[in-house]
Amino acid sequence: MTDERISERTGRHGPTIRDVARIAGVSIGTASKALNANGRLRQETRDKVMAVAREIGYRPNDMAQSLHRTRSMTVGVLSTDSFGRFTLPIFKALEEEFADQGIAIFMCNATDDPERERQHLDQLLGKRIDGLVVTARRSDKRSPVGPLPPGLPVIYVFSQADDEESLSLVPDDESGARLAVRHLAEVGCTRIACVTGPEHFESVTLRRRGYSQSLREAGLPEHPEYYLPGPWSEAWGREAVGLLFDGKAERPDGLFCGNDQIARGAAEALRERAIDVPGQVAIVGFDNWNVMTDAARPPLSSVDMNLAALGHEAGRLLMDMIGGETIRGLRRLPCTLVVRDSSSR
């Protein structure tokens, strides 16, 4: 994970808001909220910032305050997730973060169409948005959006810009896979297969790395024939079970699946073969999509990418950037494991 914060140099004499933030031990965005009496802050934080400002003789820049008053109080969200599976939890969290700031959100869906994205971007920029969130239905790298006005804060969430100057927030797929496979080993699985999605997805590569590492840590063998990439679908989960179980002398006793659709298909195929889940085969999926996990029989254990946490973090960071901070780099936020009946032994 890389993270670089740069304080912009100014020609002003005397203390600046950056000095207040540094001495108070808070971000520039937090200092700005305290000094302007807005935002949701603990009273002790607000009091601390105000005390530091008085102590060092900080006086707000009248022009900066004037610029603040002329903000549009709007943020744009540009997405390629036409189904909203990944974008909507992020959008909801952003709304919660911005609610106390009086900031409205405009959301546009580009559906992987570059021309449509360009049109939506032009519309958002025409509204003079204060910041932009770019999100997607997969976290792979993409070209940066643009061209953009100089200084417009932009954050890529569940998406990565192929640009070192950008800020991107994504789930930590590798550590999420480690959680799943470690859990399967802890419940007694010794032959763990991985049924996953297409290998050109970065998440598939990272999750395989986590799968392999956890097997090594548990002292378990990694059988090449137990790794099966394929489509993101229930049908592939059912097909993969046939490849792993039909006519095989040594069958897996644990399945780590690359998403919940694959896991649900695998569970159905095992039930059709009268193979007990989790008694004979324990299953863990990925995404923690309740449409799949709760409807499966038995309900699926799954890795949660914590999309709401991504959205909340994006909202906080975007406010800091609007407040004057420059933040860039790639941040991978932790996943969690939700254990249900499919792996409870």
Each residue's pLDDT tens digit, 3-61:
333 333 333 457 877 788 899 998 877 887 787 766 677 888 888 988 888 888 886 65
Is the model more confident about 235 or about 74? 235
Poorest-pLDDT segment among 46-55, 171-180, 276-285: 46-55
Q: Look at residue 343 in the predicted model and tell me its pLDDT.
A: 97
pLDDT at 223 over 90: yes
The average pLDDT across 131-144 equals: 88
Interacting residues of 223 by C-beta distance below 8 A, sequence separation 6+: 191, 193
Amino acid code (one letter) for 194: C
User: What pLDDT sits at residue 38?
Assistant: 63
d(CA 68, CA 157): 25
Q: What one-letter code names the amino acid at 281?
A: V
Which residue matches tokens 């298909």? 265
The predicted-structure confidence for 186-197, as pLDDT tens digits, reads as follows: 999 999 999 999
State yes or no: pLDDT of 72 exceeds 90.
no
pLDDT digits (tens, 9 = 90+) for 119-131: 999 999 988 999 9
User: Long-range contact list for 316-320, CB < 8 A, 24+ apart?
Assistant: 316/29, 316/97, 317/155, 317/167, 317/169, 318/75, 318/131, 318/133, 318/153, 318/155, 319/29, 319/33, 319/39, 319/97, 319/98, 319/101, 320/27, 320/28, 320/29, 320/30
pLDDT value of residue 139: 81
**What is the arithmetic mean of pLDDT over 99-106?**
81
**Per-residue pLDDT at 231 exceeds 90:** yes
Share the mean pLDDT of the chain. Answer: 88
pLDDT for residue 61: 54
Q: What's the pLDDT at 114? A: 85
Q: How far apart are CA 298 and CA 280, in angstroms?
A: 13
pLDDT confidence bin for 97, thresholds 50/70/90: confident
Structural domains in the chain, CATH included, are 4-67 (1.10.260.40), 72-170+309-334 (3.40.50.2300), 173-305+338-343 (3.40.50.2300)
Any idea which of 110-119, 239-248, 307-316, 332-341 has the lowest mean pLDDT?
110-119
Residues 283 and 344: their CA atoms lie apart, in Å, by 9
pLDDT at 70: 63
pTM confidence score: 0.78
> Tokens 């709007």 map to which residue?
74
- The residue-averaged pLDDT of 305-325 equals 93
Torsion of CA 86, 88, 93, 96, to 10 degrees: 180
Pair of tokens at residue 120: 């939506």
pLDDT band at 64 (very low <50, low <70, confident <90, very high): very low
Residue 90 pLDDT exceeds 70: yes
